[in-house]
Chain A
């Protein structure tokens, strides 16, 4: 049952082969047994989860079920969920029990899904290894000496370890795709504006986007159907007609044009990852796709551009954490300024402080044009590269990350080395395009490799089609770690 797809689980629930309460309990038991080692969840609340499961069973009995009714889903701890501790991986919010539901949480509640718990993450989603979490690092279930990636590392680990049926993530520079790749699962970051950011704790607002993480492209389509849609409470939420993201899953891939950016297969990519990605491309040719080399000449600048824009937005967004209305307040202070400075110094971890300082600096008087404005101009060049590339292809493919999962502590005190692990994912956020990662093999250390699929704006259904057809022809996505 723990290896079943959402569709299979939904059918089993409808046939009363299993109840949502039984299914939820099955996962809660696995979490109790495995989470102490893996640390994928920050918070679980069996009573609340089981109450939701009972309500779902009632809904199923009344034949009022949706495709997600009764399915146990883990929520990244960046989403505010009413009555749930919502920490965002930070000491700053160690005591924050959210008084309201994020849009994404409300959509899953409306669908009758069961909230199985809140997953661990890099603090305020700033990290690529989950090592910046105040609640301790998540372990990669394929090798517990290695990182699961980040920032949605808890969600990726929980899916790979079968500690939930599916999960949510958020992706500002690769935080869904990179952990999906490192843990051997599937994850999708939609086009910017497709999923409401209401109640999703803000990191870099012009880049943040929520998306589904799961065991297959088919599962992702069902999850995205629930998550997507207009919400007036997010000023960047797009008003578009409702889509069924599963509508094209069954289409054959004959004539699909795949663009391979030559910059993604150059220096910096480890050999085992290149080999697995090339094998996946060969499989796509067999499935009827054609391949064309493309160029994204400005993509190499995406890391420096990102490390100006994202910290600038973060320094502004995180100014709300001041120890006054909620969250952490320092135990001792002399005056108001001292209270702010000590509460923030003690409540934020090292990486968050580093990014706040970068952002504060690039926005400060005399540096704005040289950094922030220049970064925004190069952001346009990066986006234009994609527009140009999509004249020649339907989807772009390449590696998700330059290597498989690295060891805990390996990138240690060198933030720049850590930042470079998102080198293939960041440009997609800067352009606002949809991107996904699916498992496509294993590297030399038997760790999973992810294939990145980048679509044109609103190309999610096409990407899911390409991913699903590949998953029908291969079985990488159904491999599970021995635990």
Chain B
């Protein structure tokens, strides 16, 4: 399995990771090595085998549709990252760059 730089660029964009061309080239080489290791799987005949998504066969527990958490907005918003020295919150909301004109 060999990736080209366009594949790596696309994956970086999907994963929301800014990368310059030097980093893309380095990532391509390392990912190609890892995918060579992963390719050992491809030779295995798995026809008729059910995929195992989890260690235990569990069904999702259900609970009453009731509020169980207390409102801790102020505590949580005190953790907001700062931008140019100020925490990015206002009136109980988180601030991000404008998305809609």
Q: Which residues of A line the B interface, CB within 8 A?
A: 95-97, 99, 192-193, 206-207, 232, 235-236, 238, 298, 301, 303-305, 307-308, 315, 319, 322-329, 331, 333-342, 344-345, 348, 353-354, 356-358, 360-361, 364, 370-371, 373-381, 383, 413-416, 419, 429-432
Q: Judging by beta carbons under 8 Å apart, are A381 and B94 in contact?
A: no
Q: Judging by beta carbons under 8 Å apart, are A383 and B38 in contact?
A: no
Q: Which residues of B contact A236 (CB under 8 A)?
A: 54, 56, 58
Most chain B CB atoms below 10 A, which of A305, A322, A328, A345: A345
Give the interface residue-count category, chain B: 35 or more
A336-B99, A383-B52 known; A357+B15 contact, CB < 8 A: yes
- A selection of 20 A-B contacts at a CB cut-off of 8 Å is A193-B56, A301-B40, A304-B38, A322-B16, A324-B94, A325-B80, A328-B81, A338-B97, A341-B13, A344-B15, A353-B15, A356-B15, A357-B8, A357-B11, A357-B31, A374-B41, A376-B53, A378-B49, A380-B50, A380-B52
Within 8 A of A (CB), among B58-85: 58, 60-61, 63, 72, 75-76, 79-84
Q: Judging by beta carbons under 8 Å apart, are B41 and A416 in contact?
A: no
The 5 closest A-B pairs by CB, nearest first: A432-B55, A376-B51, A329-B81, A192-B55, A377-B46
B91 at the interface (CB under 8 A from A): no
Interface residue from A344, A358, A416, A431 paired with B18 (Cβ < 8 Å): A344
Q: Which residues of B contact A431 (CB under 8 A)?
A: 55
B15-53: CB near A (< 8 Å → 1, else 0) gives 111110000000100110111111111101010011111
Chain B binding surface SS class: loop
Q: Which residues of B contact A357 (CB under 8 A)?
A: 8, 11-12, 15, 17, 27, 31
Q: Judging by beta carbons under 8 Å apart, are A416 and B37 in contact?
A: yes
Most chain A CB atoms below 10 A, which of B42, B75, B83: B83
Other contacts beyond A348-B17, A377-B50: 13, CB < 8 A:
A207-B55, A236-B56, A325-B81, A326-B80, A335-B99, A339-B96, A344-B15, A344-B18, A357-B12, A358-B35, A371-B38, A378-B46, A381-B46
Most chain B CB atoms below 10 A, which of A97, A336, A361: A361
Q: Bound complex: CA of A364 vs CA of B53, how far in Å?
A: 18
Q: Judging by beta carbons under 8 Å apart, are A333 and B97 in contact?
A: yes
Q: Judging by beta carbons under 8 Å apart, are A360 and B15 in contact?
A: yes
CB-nearest residue of chain A relative to B8?
A357
